[in-house]
Amino acid sequence: MVDLSTTLSSLRLKNPTMLASGIMDEDAGSIQRMMDCGAGAIVTKSIGIQPREGYPNPTVLELESGLLNAMGLPNPGIDHYGTELLHLKKSKIPIIGSIFAAEVKDFIFLAQKMEQFGAHAVELNVSCPHAKHYGVEVGCDVVLLQNIISSIKRKIHLPVFVKLSPNIMDLVDIVQAVEKAKADAIVAINTVKAMKIDIETGRPILANKVGGYSGKAIKPIGIRCVYDIAQHVGIPIIGVGGITTGEDAIEYFMAGASAVQIGSAVYYRGPEVFRLICREIQTWMKNHRYEKITEFIGVALQ
């Protein structure tokens, strides 16, 4: 019997495939659909205090081996989004509320709201590569980040996950600070800062010019980040970036991830991707005589 369950702090997931933030998670209906398609947990769209329109179009481009996006964190604001989450309050699948802000007090406010609205954990998006003041600037300021994490931990009872960017040089210093501040898990990686230029017009195509690259092309970057992080912290790591097949997920587990998030592959393989990836992991495990994922988490580190 193959057991796909995994744990992230106090959360128990029936399988290790989670929906990544920002993909098909804008309302209760789309989240329910992802749950019905087998996701082991859901991360919400990143939500701020006020409604935000995001950037003008074009906001998403399909490139050779992935997607380039600069959405600009569009969201309806925490109070409106909360009414969507209340529809899912009875759900048995864990929901992780992703939040973004620039200041400690706003992060605390959003985390408390997520707790009230029934989220099972919060994920701090401190890694958006294209949102001024709300993104990587927060995630690479060690003092600010530690202050955000420890302040939230004092105010809410939920596990706190921290989502980091591959665009920072001092990843090891940051993850050690994150663990010291008592975060419950690290999520790696957010999109990779990137750009596409139209050679006929000589202009960047995205309205915001710069965006974040996701999908197959970034998997080796995500694997390297998870591998580096796993050597320096003891808290669980959630791997994300380019996971499209069960084999991709297994590679992340071997690098040290306890669960994985799937974003762009929902676009490439459809919402059924969660069930498909679980089946692929199960087949591989059977063929290699593994019964539990924990048997091969981090084997590449040994």
Ligand X SMILES: Cc1cc2nc3c(=O)[nH]c(=O)nc-3n(C[C@H](O)[C@H](O)[C@H](O)COP(=O)(O)O)c2cc1C
Q: Which residues here bind ligand X, judged by CB under 6 A?
A: 20-23, 45-46, 60, 67, 69, 71, 73, 98, 125, 163, 190-191, 214-215, 218, 240-243, 262-265
Nearer to ligand X, 77 or 200 (CB): 77
CB of 54 to ligand X, least distance (A): 10
CB of 144 to ligand X, least distance (A): 18
Sheet holding 60-63, edge to edge: 60-63, 66-69, 210-214, 192-195
* Residue 128 appears among annotated catalytic residues: yes
Length of the chain: 302
CB of 45 to ligand X, least distance (A): 5
Nearer to ligand X, 23 or 88 (CB): 23
Inter-residue contact 206 to 61 (CB < 8 Å): yes
Nearer to ligand X, 3 or 228 (CB): 228
CA–CA gap between residue 117 and residue 162 (Å, rounded):
20
Nearer to ligand X, 97 or 242 (CB): 242
Catalytic member of 37, 128, 140, 278? 128
Q: Which two tokens stand for residue 132?
A: 């001024």
Nearer to ligand X, 68 or 233 (CB): 68
Q: Which residues contact 236 (CB under 8 A, 6 or more apart)?
A: 7, 8, 9, 184, 185, 186, 258, 259
CB of 35 to ligand X, least distance (A): 17
Return the bridge partners of 97, or none.
122
Distances (CA, A) of 86 to 40, 56, 79, 82, 100: 19, 30, 11, 6, 20
Q: Hunting for tokens 């709300």 — which residue is that?
A: 134
CB of 1 to ligand X, least distance (A): 29
What is the crossing angle of helices 219-230 and 171-180, to 10°? 50
Q: Hunting for tokens 């996950």 — which residue is that?
A: 161
CA–CA gap between residue 117 and residue 82 (Å, rounded):
6
Among all residues, which ones are annotated catalytic?
128
